[in-house]
Amino acid sequence: MKTSLENTLLEAIRTIPDYPKPGITFRDITTLLGNARAFRRAVDELVHPYAGTKVDKIAGIEARGFILGGAIAHQLSAGFIPIRKKGKLPHETVRVAYSLEYGIDEMEMHRDAVEAGEKVILVDDLIATGGTAEGATKLLRQMGADIVAACFVIDLPELGGRAKLEALDVPVRTLISYEGH
Residue tagged active-site, from 64, 84, 162, 173: 64
Q: Is 169 helix (H, G, I), strand (E, B) or coil?
A: coil
Distance separating alpha carbons of residues 128 and 34, to the nearest angstrom? 23
Dump strand ranges (E) for the chain.
14-17, 25-28, 57-61, 79-85, 93-100, 103-110, 119-127, 146-155, 172-177
Tell me whether residue 101 is one of the annotated catalytic residues: yes
User: Letter for the amino acid at 60?
Assistant: G
Tell me whether residue 95 is one of the annotated catalytic residues: no
- What's the burial of 54, exposed, middle or buried (CB within 10 Å: 0-12/13-18/19+)? exposed
Q: Give Cα separations from 31 to 11, 83, 95, 151, 172 (angstroms).
A: 9, 23, 31, 19, 24
Residue tagged active-site, from 62, 95, 101, 141: 101
* Catalytic residue annotation: 64, 101
